[in-house]
Amino acid sequence: MYFSYALMVGLIVTGCIIFYVIGKFDYAIVGIPIAIVIMVPLIFRYSRMMMLYIVYPLMYKDKFYGKP
């Protein structure tokens, strides 16, 4: 299954509205960040963005940030 940023944002907004309507918004304050932590690896699983913005700068610090 393909997860996208739009799906994650939609789940967060929908979750906040549902928790607010049923009067359990305090649980959304804990549940929404947990959902983000679970979904971010799924988003980056088949994505080159993780390689471009996270892995390569860590591997090749000299090329990205210059020598200290």
Determine the pLDDT at residue 27. 80
| DSSP states of 30-47 | HHHHHHHHHHHHHHHTT-
With contact defined as beta carbons under 8 Å apart, do 57 and 17 qualify?
A: no
User: pLDDT tier at 1 (50, 70, 90 boundaries)?
Assistant: very low
With contact defined as beta carbons under 8 Å apart, do 25 and 16 qualify?
A: yes
Each residue's pLDDT tens digit, 30-52: 877 887 777 777 776 666 666 66
First to last CA, the chain: 42
Cα angle vertex 63, ends 57, 68, to 5°? 95
Q: Check residue 51 and report its DSSP letter.
A: I
Predicted structure pTM score:
0.43
Higher pLDDT, 58 or 13: 13
